[in-house]
Amino acid sequence: MPKEMDVVKRAKVIEWLKTEVLDHVSRLFKAMWEGSTARIGDCLASLVMSSYILGRRLGVSYRELDDLLIDKLRKHRKEGHQLEDWYQDISALEEHMRKR
């Protein structure tokens, strides 16, 4: 495949993945409105999957994304994020990520 065609194909894939992320957010909001926990879980899983793949297409490896997430969680925990103060969500997710 000529290099120009590869660049175009890569750009189209990135644009498509961006629309996938938006679609998954929209579907998540609808599932939340309907109160379907099964659909909420499915939408969240699709959103995470699309985010990881979009990151990879943009040059961020899965491992690097995991490490960046852990760093962000650590920062929020240390800064006293409200979700940490109220529910310990930040430290729970950080622990989950570390055990993977």
pLDDT in tens, 65-84: 999 999 999 999 999 999 99
pTM of the model as a whole: 0.87
Please name the residue that has the structure tokens 């939408």: 43
Instruction: Tell me what pLDDT residue 2 has.
Output: 73
State how far Cα 35 lies from the chain centre.
Answer: 22
The b/e string for 20-30 (b: 16+ C-beta within 10 A; e otherwise) is bbeebeebbee
